[in-house]
């Protein structure tokens, strides 16, 4: 299959004639060829996005842009089979997960942002003036302009829509740089969004890599007004330097080293079910996944045994009735994850389960699989405890007091999310509020209402997305003061 760029309403190859392989991570086999956008195509995409702002799209009210978002949602639902094929080919995620979660939620995101924008309030005041008169002061919101959306590899459709939905609802135009690992969904969105918004140039896609490539060309382009990025913290720092030129606004959703705290009074069934999903879902390639679990000492051994049993349920492979643990997204990422496996046990901690590469036979022999892995007692200062691994693995450590565990959980440069497991309601609230993170769950994980604030503090991000928070980023406010 040939995967192309999407610029000003047309699918295009790159003018330099370069391409790269789209690989099935379960087999390592090439399943498509992606045409690279050169600097010229990135410039064309930005120019098309800029031009679209001066046409009918740029003059639309948010009532009309919201309707466009609703039409895009309908188009995603109509082309659900195509999205299912694209997502499964790129990620080899289970088909039922993609058809029941990614696609319906993707469409729902467009609808949610359309609804939120239609009720977004402005401010208005009658203000007394020094001369004894009055002024009427109110605000109007306008699109920010051309937005660059640089996207990661772990949830192709959802994380792209999470940016494009509010961008378009607020009347912006977008140039998307999808991850090089997952090029298909973004390409497919080209047609789908054009059908919904009915104007060329509003949505564009430039395929290629990050540094010295499409990602950098896009974020350095002076006609880009704002940059929204989801990905690794180091990449965010590189993009931030580019954004400084021209003082462009940024919204960053970055990495994490997320802790979970399990108190002795927790419902162990709930905690093990929730945390095994949190560690192993999507083969650990979830930004909100848990990589550190602190367990109160009286239930430590019981918890570890239950987690190890739960890990056995995640069978490496892509078939079977039980929850399966798919491959990591690329050979390069597997190498990175596997480099942590021996490092974790260097100073004597125990591998409780897993720890290497599983034996796989048949067509999947060449896939990028790793074993679900639990360590206990990795030293708190070890790099394995401090760096994001982004694989199906975590460290489990005992603790003795609430104050101690709050300090341990917060002892990280990241601040994305945490979870607290306890049947003591006051303690749940108290410890959740003490977590230095953007999102904290109590007795659950991954439960979201997309209208609420989402994001991280510290090295995990800048700004918040979700509902009105996304709309704030994608709009400029003008304060108008009328002397009466």
Q: In 311-340, which positions are buried (b, 16+ CB within 10 angstroms) versus exposed (e)?
A: beebebbbeeeeebbbbbbbeebbeebbeb
Out of 36, 47, 102, 216, the residue judged to bind ligand NAD by CB under 6 A: 216
Span near ligand NAD by CB under 6 A; candidates 72-80, 249-257, 267-275, 426-434: 249-257
Distance CA 469, CA 452 (A): 8
Tokens 């109110």 sit on residue: 138
Tokens 């058809």 sit on residue: 99
Q: Name the residue number minimizing CB distance to ligand NAD.
A: 210
Instruction: Report the residue number, 57 or 155, with the smaller CB distance to ligand NAD.
Output: 155
Out of 326, 456, 466, 467, the residue judged to bind ligand NAD by CB under 6 A: 456
Instruction: Report the residue number, 315 or 386, with the smaller CB distance to ligand NAD.
Output: 386
Span near ligand NAD by CB under 6 A; candidates 16-24, 61-69, 168-176, 251-259: 251-259
Rounded least distance, CB 254 to ligand NAD, Å? 5
Termini Cα distance of the chain: 64
Q: Does 228 interact with ligand NAD (rule: CB under 6 A)?
A: no
Out of 137, 238, 323, 360, the residue judged to bind ligand NAD by CB under 6 A: 238
Instruction: Report the residue number, 391 or 456, with the smaller CB distance to ligand NAD.
Output: 456
Give the pair of three-digit tokens for residue 431.
């410890």
**Contact positions with ligand NAD (CB under 6 A) in 84-143:** none
Q: Does 255 interact with ligand NAD (rule: CB under 6 A)?
A: yes
Rounded least distance, CB 252 to ligand NAD, Å? 8
Q: Does 235 interact with ligand NAD (rule: CB under 6 A)?
A: yes
Rounded least distance, CB 276 to ligand NAD, Å? 19
Q: Which of 87, 167, 253, 465 is catalytic?
A: 253
The number of residues that bind ligand NAD (CB under 6 A) is 31
Out of 66, 152, 326, 327, the residue judged to bind ligand NAD by CB under 6 A: 152
Q: Does 388 interact with ligand NAD (rule: CB under 6 A)?
A: yes
Instruction: Report the residue number, 215 or 372, with the smaller CB distance to ligand NAD.
Output: 215
Q: Does 185 interact with ligand NAD (rule: CB under 6 A)?
A: no
Q: Does 156 interact with ligand NAD (rule: CB under 6 A)?
A: no
Q: Does 150 interact with ligand NAD (rule: CB under 6 A)?
A: yes
**Contact positions with ligand NAD (CB under 6 A) in 276-315:** 287
Q: Does 154 interact with ligand NAD (rule: CB under 6 A)?
A: yes
- Write the secondary structure of the chain as one string of H (helix), E (strand) and C (coil): CEECEEECCEEECCCCCCEEEEECCCCCCEEEEEECCCHHHHHHHHHHHHHHHHCHHHHCCHHHHHHHHHHHHHHHHHCHHHHHHHHHHHHCCCHHHHHHHHHHHHHHHHHHHHHHHHCCCCCEEEEECCCCCEEEEEEEEEECCEEEEECCCCCHHHHHHHHHHHHHHCCCEEEEECCCCCHHHHHHHHHHHHHHHCCCCCEEECCCCCCCCHHHHHHHCCCCCEEEEECCHHHHHHHHHHHHCCCCEEEEECCCCEEEEECCCCCHHHHHHHHHHHHHHHHHCCCCCEEEEEEEHHHHHHHHHHHHHHHHCCEECCCCCCCEECCCCCHHHHHHHHHHHHHHHCCCCEEEECCCCCCCCHHHHHCCCCCCEEEECCCCCCHHHHCCCCCCEEEEEEECCHHHHHHHHHCCCEECEEEEECCCHHHHHHHHHHCCCCEEEECCCCCCCCCCCECCEECCEECCECHHHHHHHCEEEEEEEEEC
Contact between 296 and 342 under an 8 Å Cβ cutoff? The reply is no
Rounded least distance, CB 238 to ligand NAD, Å? 4
Q: Does 215 interact with ligand NAD (rule: CB under 6 A)?
A: yes
Out of 186, 239, 370, 439, the residue judged to bind ligand NAD by CB under 6 A: 239
Q: Does 419 interact with ligand NAD (rule: CB under 6 A)?
A: no
Q: Does 230 interact with ligand NAD (rule: CB under 6 A)?
A: yes
Q: Does 440 interact with ligand NAD (rule: CB under 6 A)?
A: no
Q: Does 390 interact with ligand NAD (rule: CB under 6 A)?
A: yes
Out of 46, 151, 224, 396, the residue judged to bind ligand NAD by CB under 6 A: 151
Out of 11, 209, 324, 446, the residue judged to bind ligand NAD by CB under 6 A: 209
Sequence-separated (6 or more) residues with CB below 8 Å from residue 85: none
Would residue 253 show up in a list of annotated catalytic residues for this protein?
yes
Residue 220 CB-density burial (10 A; 0-12 exposed, 13-18 middle, 19+ buried)? middle
Q: Does 254 interact with ligand NAD (rule: CB under 6 A)?
A: yes
Q: Does 219 interact with ligand NAD (rule: CB under 6 A)?
A: yes
Span near ligand NAD by CB under 6 A; candidates 21-29, 185-193, 233-241, 309-317: 233-241
- Catalytic residue list: 253
Q: Which residues are at the interface with ligand NAD (CB under 6 A)?
A: 150-154, 159, 177, 179-180, 209-211, 215-216, 219, 230-232, 235, 238-239, 253-256, 287, 388, 390, 416, 456, 461
């Amino acid at each position: 299959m040939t995967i192309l760029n999407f610029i000003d309403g047309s699918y295009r190859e790159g003018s330099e004639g370069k391409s790269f392989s789209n690989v099935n991570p379960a087999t390592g086999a090439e399943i498509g060829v992606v045409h690279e956008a050169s600097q010229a195509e990135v410039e064309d995409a930005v120019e098309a996005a800029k031009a679209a702002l001066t046409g009918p799209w740029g003059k639309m009210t948010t009532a009309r842009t919201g309707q466009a978002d609703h039409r895009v949602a309908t188009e995603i639902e109509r082309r659900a089979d195509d999205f299912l094929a694209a997502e499964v080919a790129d990620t080899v995620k289970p088909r039922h997960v993609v058809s029941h979660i990614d696609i319906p939620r993707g469409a729902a995101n467009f609808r949610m942002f359309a609804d939120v924008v239609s009720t977004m309030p402005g401010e208005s005041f009658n203000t007394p003036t020094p001369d004894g008169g009055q002024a009427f002061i109110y605000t109007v919101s306008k699109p920010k302009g051309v937005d660059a959306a640089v996207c990661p590899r772990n949830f192709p459709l959802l994380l792209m829509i999470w940016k494009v939905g509010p961008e378009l609802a607020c009347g912006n135009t977008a140039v998307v740089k999808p991850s090089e690992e997952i090029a298909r969904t973004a390409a497919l969105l080209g047609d789908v969004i054009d059908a919904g918004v009915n104007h060329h140039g509003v949505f564009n896609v430039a395929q290629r890599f990050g540094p010295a490539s499409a990602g950098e060309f896009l974020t350095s382009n002076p006609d880009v007004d704002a940059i929204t990025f989801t990905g690794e913290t180091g990449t965010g720092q590189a993009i931030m330097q580019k954004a400084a030129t021209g003082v462009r606004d940024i919204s960053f959703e970055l990495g994490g080293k997320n802790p979970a705290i399990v108190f002795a009074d927790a419902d162990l069934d709930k905690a093990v079910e929730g945390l095994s999903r949190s560690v192993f879902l999507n083969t650990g390639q979830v930004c909100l996944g848990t990589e550190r679990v602190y367990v109160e000492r009286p239930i430590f051994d019981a918890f570890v045994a239950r987690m190890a049993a739960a890990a056995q349920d995640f069978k490496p492979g892509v078939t079977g009735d039980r929850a399966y643990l798919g491959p990591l997204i690329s050979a390069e990422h597997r190498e990175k994850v596997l480099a942590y496996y021996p490092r974790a046990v260097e100073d004597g901690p125990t591998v409780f389960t897993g720890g290497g590469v599983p034996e796989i036979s048949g067509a999947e022999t060449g896939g990028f699989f790793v074993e679900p892995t639990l360590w206990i007692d990795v030293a708190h200062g070890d790099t394995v405890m401090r760096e994001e691994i982004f694989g199906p693995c975590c460290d489990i450590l005992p603790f003795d007091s609430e104050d101690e565990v709050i300090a341990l959980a917060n002892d990280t440069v990241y601040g994305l999310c945490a979870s607290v497991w306890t049947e003591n309601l006051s303690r749940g609230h108290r410890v959740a509020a003490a977590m230095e993170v953007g999102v904290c769950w109590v007795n659950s994980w991954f439960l979201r209402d997309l209208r609420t604030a989402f994001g991280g503090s510290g090295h995990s991000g800048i700004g918040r997305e979700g509902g009105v928070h996304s709309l704030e980023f994608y709009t400029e406010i003008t304060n108008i003061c009328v002397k009466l």
